[in-house]
Each structure stands twice: as C-alpha cells, then as structure tokens.
Structure 1
Amino acid sequence: MAKTNPGRFFEDYRLGEVIAHAVPRTVSGGERALYHALYPSRFALASSDEFARASGLPAAPMDDLITFHTVFGKTVPDISLNAVANLGYAEGYFRKPVYPGDTLRSESEVIGLKQNSNGKSGVVYVRTTGRNQRDEVVMEYVRWVMVRKGDLDAPAPETVLPDLAKAVDPADLIIPEGLDFSNYDFTLAGEPHRWGDYEIGEQIDHVDGVTIEEAEHMMATRLWQNTAKVHFDATFRPDGQRLIYGGHVISMARALSFNGLANAQMIVGLNGGAHANPCFSGDTVKAWSEVLDKAETSAPGVGAVRLRLVATKGGDPFRLKGQDGKYLPEVLLDLDFWALMPL
C-alpha cells in the first residue's frame, strides 16, 4: 500500500466536506525577522513593541500577511498541491492579532465546485479558517483554485457556485481589542498622512520596485510550508519555469505600498483579489494603490480605508485592464482590502 501522498485532484472533492490540515505551526520572532528580510516591510505597528504598546496593544503583532501565509500554507497539501493556479479571494476577515508564541492551524470547507469545459480541470471553492492554540479564529477567507483532474473520465460534479459578498461590510470589521491611535506618533511611523488626508478615488504610485529573485522566492515558499508543485518543480510546467507563489507578490506589493501608505497599519478585511498574470524570477514588481472607500470605526482615533493594491511588472501606473475588460499582461495582482489608519 502506497504511503506517499500524490495530492488531491478535482474529482476527489465533495461539496460540504471539511478538511483539517496538518501541521500546526508555532510562529516566533524568527518569522518576523525572515519576513522583513524577504520584503521591504516597515510598518511601525508590526515592527516595534513600544509603538504597539503606545497604540494600546500588548506587543507588536505579527505582520498580518504572516498570519495569512501561515494559514494558507497549511492548506496547500490538501487543496492546491495539484493546482494549475490560485484564482481569487473573497470574504476575508482578520479576527484577532497573532503574536510570537501563538500556534496556528487551519481547516477548510468545500463550498463550491465547477468542472471546466475542457474536462481536464475544475475550480474548487473553499472557506479556510485559521485558529490559534486557544481555538480562537484568527482569520478566515474564501479562495478558489483551478485543480487538475487525475482521472479524465471521472464524471463532472454538479456545478455549485457560492454566493460571495463583493466586499466586507465595514461594520463587520473586527478592530483589535484595545487599539487606540489617539496619541499616534506620525514621526516614528514614517509619514504624516492620516485618514482624513486620503480621498476616495485617489491613486498613489508607490514608486519603488523590487526584482524577484529565485532564491528569495524559494525561501519564502518554504517558510510558509507551501508545497505546491508549480512553485518548486521546474518540470511541472511546459515552459520549464517555477511559478512565483502569489502570496510572495502580495507581500512584496504590500511592503512597497509603505511609500505613500505608511500609516495603513493593519489589514483587517480582504474583499477580493486576483492573480491576474503569472510572475517569474527576474520580473521587477512595482505597485500602485487606489482609495476605494473610507469608514469610521468605534476605536479611538482609528479609521478604516479600503484600498485596491495593484502589483505590476512594468508599464505605466494606474492602468489595470484593456478595452476588452481583461487584465493587461503586465498586471500581476489586483487586491482589494480594508486597513486601519489613524484619524
């Protein structure tokens, strides 16, 4: 009897199935240091215990995307080991900050299935929940993945597409307990721009760029224990290239957005996202943002801003789609999220 795991194929998923993912992961200051070595991230709240304590938190939380990558990485062996591509995200909630010493685990529920017309693959929709050692939900999100079929003759399942919200309602955002930006230090944070300085519709060119290195991408993907074959095995794609993990592009773009959005301190909601085109080693990632919406919160001195973060590999900023409605070939990522910012 074979003891190895070839991964699930499209025909192996069942609607309503709940999958508990191995292996729990205790995060530490090591993850924070490696994250800041891999990405030019300088957001003060996640960098300084003292800054975080002055903002009402017990210590600096882990960068929100460390939580996302860790929870996501747990799901890969069961959800996307045989994926063609990770297609999108919706209904993402960051419910509790994660601190060094917390242990994270993940489970996913299959909420939608649709076989592609070519009969060789299908799209699997899952709602993933990450919990800490106290069984508290730290984050949850929906994603959909195109997965290969192992048996091309396997019958197609009934098509079920989940009804997903176009955006997280700002009233449903969870503000970390104790967070208070009343005495926010803009000098230490790095920029003077507060919530009231941003206007809906405003676009920001983050100016800087980073060329993706094969070694750094591989280190990052291993760090999150992401085992998807397309990221590691150069023989797995017809072009012989290893696909850069989409989360690597997300973190790079988020880090680059510091230049212009240094005070967008915490991600609390993930409205949607698409990996528009593949990214490969040697591509230079740049980023721009658009302010989509703003909302007040119940926390003292804290406002919420809805941002579209776009990562590109060239071209002029602020261009997203062509006249045909499709993403331009230089667009890598289109991410829509809520972040917390001082009023």
Structure 2
Amino acid sequence: MVFPPIYHHTGLETSGGATRVAQLVVDGLRRRNVETNHSFELAEKQDGTAILPNDFGRYLPGNAIGHLHSTGNWPDLLTSISARARVVITMHDCELFTGGCPYPLDCADLDEKCADPCSRNFPEAESLKKQKLHQVQRLEPALVAPSRWMARLAKTHLYRSVTVVPNGIPWPEQPVSKRVARRKLGLHNAARVAVFAAHGGMNAAYKSGDAWKDIWTALKARMPRLVCFAVGGDREEQQGDLILWPYVDRARLSLLMNAADVLLYPTRADNHSLVVLEAMSCSLPVVAYSVGGIPEQVTDQYTGLLVPSGRNKVFIDAAELLLSDPAMIRQMGVDAFDSGRKRFDSERMVEGYMSVYKSLIGE
C-alpha cells in the first residue's frame, strides 16, 4: 500500500509527552519509508520554525493525512483544516472535549453544560466546548486514545468511535545493572532509593507535587536509610537525603531509574504516562494512584502497587511495604520490564497508527 504524506502537529517542540509520542511515530514512519513531517506552534530551538494553529491547514497538502497531537488552541487549529482533509487526532489529555481543563478530575459539570463562570476559571468554557465539538463533527476525524479510559470518556462526549493505540517508547534489550547505575551516581548498594518524577516537580498539580514532601517525610521517619530523588522542578538542591533535581534529559533520568528501587507516582489524573513506561523499561516497580489509564499500565501486585486516589496514608503504607522487601522489588521489576516490552514498545505503537492510517485510506 502506498501511503500519503503524514503531517504531525504538536504545540511544543522539545518537551511534553505528546511531542515525544509524535516524534517516535515520525521516526517509525521514516523507517518504513513513509513521507512525514512534524510541525510545532512553539519552536524552542533557536533555528525552529513555528506554525500558528490557524495556519496549519494552509500548510497541509491536499493528499496528506493531518495527525494532530496537541495545541494551544483547538478551535483555531481545527477550523484551519478543510472538511475534505483526512485527519487523525490523538487525545493525550481531555482538552478536546472539555471547556479548557486538561483533566476534569471531580468536576460535576463535565457531563452537562460547563458552569458559568467556570469553577476553575477557564474563560467561556461552555462556548469553547461547543466550538470544539462542532469542529470535530465537521471534520469527522479518526479519533485515537492511548488508554481505554480516555477512549470511553471521548466517545461519551464527542459521539464518535475511538481507537485505542497505547503509548510506547523504545525498549532496551535489557535494563542497566542496578549496581552499575548506582556506582555512576555515587549511591550505596545497601541504600533504599525512591524517585518522584514529573514535569514541574513539586509544582506539578496533577501529579500531586504538593504532596511529595509529606510522603517523603513520612517514609523517611519509618525508613531512616531511605534516599529520595524528586525530579522535574526548576532547581537543584539537597535537603538531607532528599535530592531535588530539575528537569533532566532522558539518559540521566533513565540512569536514575535503573539505580532506584521504586517510582513513587501519586498522580491525581493521567492518561497513559510515559514516566511509568520509562520506569517499567528500567525494571522499576511503581506505586501509584489507581486513576485514569494507570491500571492499564501497572498491574497491581504484579508490576507495582495501586492504591485508591487521594489516600495518602495508604500510598505511604504501600510504598513502605515495597521498599522493605528487596525480593518483591526485584520480581516486580523483572515483571514490569517483560510486561512492558510485550505491550508498550514504540514499534508496536507505530504499527497501531499505521492501521489507523490504512483505515482512512480505505475510506
């Protein structure tokens, strides 16, 4: 089958889960000799070129498939595209069908009209929600969600079928030895090491960044030999055995995860987290809240431990249980690596999107 060009579009150029997924798909398509392109709204490299949302349609060739991943303005981006165009939209969060919030959490207005004024201060939320729905109905795109959880939500609010293509990352043949990784980081082999990681660090609202220090303090009181890294903030600092790291490159984060015993991931909302996949690819078990698409990644009692959302004490108890049992850490780490390699390798993700493109061509 001869493929048309595939034009991917994201809001950011060098950061963000949507951008990374889009680039992995672009790389996979190029390996398959499919013509492809990746445009951005915010070019973060000095030589980067930005395409504003309302200009994307003008740059989309008539024979191409437009694959939209993220944007700072869904109505303008969708309006710019001709109704004759073939379009794929991957929903990396909920913004396509809400009044502005990436994740509605416990918003009572999600299933009805957005409140006026919006309780979370999104301006003209109901009007924005209607504009996006109108454009989706006009374009009739192929909708994709990385998780079944997101697919169910999107189908309810956009009244269209949704294909599930789980996120993927390049999977190593085997993880780096924990002993080797610790030696490179100067960590003692006998230490217990926990990691928090999220873009924004302790300011990451959806990832419970404001609760990281409380969780750490409680765990440290129970486990005096515990060392913890909090990654993703805006500064580098050491507070006793709590080490704060700013946003680090993927190689550095991977080295830390290979050296650690557990990823602490008290996320309040998530679709299909790349941070969790990074941990699994490093044989790192995860303790997380059972929200969104997380249970589709982490199997409770097998590749990590899941606890009810918002239950901080239960989360701390689960983390202590795992950190206190080296045998459980090793076995869950092995199972996480093997499970993830079968389900979440980036090549499998690319093949999933190839199937979506084929369905559009067939139509």
TM category (shorter chain) comes to under 0.3
Q: Which structure has the highest helix share of the two?
A: 2
TM-score (norm 2): 0.24
Q: Which has the larger radius of gyration?
A: 2
**Structure with more contact order per residue of length (Cα contacts < 8 Å, sep ≥ 6):** 1
TM-score (norm 1): 0.25
Q: Which structure has the highest strand share of the two?
A: 1
